[in-house]
Amino acid sequence: MIIDLPSTTTSQVNRKLVELRERGGAVALGRVLTLVIVDDDGEHLEEHIDAANEASREHPCRVIVLARGSRTAAARIDGQIRVGGDAGASEVIILRLYGPLASQGQSAVVPLLLPDAPIVTWWPSAGPKAPEQDPIGELAQRRITDSAAERNPIRALQTRRKNYTPGDTDLAWTRLTNWRAQLVAALDLPPHEPITSATVTGEADSPSTELLAGWLAEYLKIPVKRIKTASAQGIVAVQLERRSGVIELHRPDGKVGTLTQPGQPTRRIALHRRSTKDCLIEELRRLDPDEVYEASLHGLDKLSAGGGKSAAKAKNGKKPVKAASK
């Protein structure tokens, strides 16, 4: 069910929610959190709402979407409520703010927050430089950004590193979960020798590749070389060197990876790029600070640049194709 409320107020939206609940129980109260989506872009708004709806099936929540309208228009709020089949296991409230109200998102959100429930803020497109200092971010226990959605993903990642506050996270980090799991599993197999150095190869503007290299540098305490390539998208390969040989996880097509290591048979591993929905579901499973992500941000300072044919292509003016997910 979709209910449009043009030129409305937050009080009228709240009253409509109560009316729906009293009329037929269309809006349940068993919500575990409030998810606030700040979407200034608006181009992919429905995709972001769909991802939130899918995530709500595991984490029942109230979803509040702030979509800023024209700043030159007269001050007004156009609202929309989605419940039932149009809202997954959540209730979706879309507020489009116009004129002077476009910069008053916090004031519009506060009256609609669930009482005594955690708040998570998600910027699916361009996010603030310091999420914790943003008016909407100040309300949240958890703040989710996506460096890969920025104009300059690597610069955005470095900015987030400088302004990190416990509770911040990035979907570029969440996309690494399968890579990290496979590498840790490989290191659990014999021979149990220390890793002496590592090389991480990936797209030039891939923040996930940067974070993977930072994670290895921080936790293995080894030199890590970051090689930029224009021949593939996202993360391409990781090589871990030790005395008995090289462990390599190579994914040239963004779908299937090949794991090779001395003394073990070569294995093919499913390494599809993770969808926004899957990453959002994972992030909503925890509300405490992610210390591993924080440490990996610190590891970015320890990386060294690498060369090679693919890197030379990028230097010669062949711009890599940007991937939305890694």
Decide which of 98, 122, 145 is a domain's last residue: 145
Q: In this structure, is residue 158 part of a structural domain?
A: no
Segment 245-256 shows an average pLDDT of 94
Q: In angstroms, how far is CA 292 from the centroid of its own chain?
A: 15
Q: In this structure, is residue 96 part of a structural domain?
A: yes
Q: In this structure, is residue 168 part of a structural domain?
A: no
Q: In this structure, is residue 157 part of a structural domain?
A: no
Q: In this structure, is residue 166 part of a structural domain?
A: no
pTM summary value: 0.89
Count how many domains the chain has.
2
Instruction: Tell me what pLDDT residue 25 has.
Output: 55
**23 & 124 share domain:** yes
C-alpha to C-alpha distance for 265 and 263, rounded to whole angstroms: 7
**93 & 227 share domain:** no
Q: In this structure, is residue 160 part of a structural domain?
A: no
| Distance in angstroms between the alpha carbons of the first and the last residue of the chain | 34
Residue 85 lies in domain = 2-145
Whole-number CA gyration radius for the chain: 22
Q: In this structure, is residue 48 part of a structural domain?
A: yes
pLDDT in tens, 264-300: 899 999 999 999 999 999 999 999 999 999 999 999 9
Helix (H) or strand (E) segment spanning residue 305: strand 303-305
DSSP structure class, residue 43: T
The CATH number of residue 66's host domain is 3.40.50
Instruction: Tell me what pLDDT residue 29 has.
Output: 55
**111 & 218 share domain:** no
C-alpha to C-alpha distance for 125 and 122, rounded to whole angstroms: 9
**137 & 204 share domain:** no
Higher pLDDT, 29 or 172: 172
**44 & 141 share domain:** yes
Cis peptide bond upstream of 289, omega within 30: no
**138 & 185 share domain:** no
pLDDT in tens, 126-156: 999 999 999 999 999 999 999 999 999 999 9
Binned at pLDDT 50, 70 and 90, residue 326 comes out as very low
Instruction: Tell me what pLDDT residue 235 has.
Output: 96
**182 & 273 share domain:** yes
pLDDT in tens, 174-208: 999 999 999 999 999 888 899 999 999 999 999 99
**88 & 140 share domain:** yes
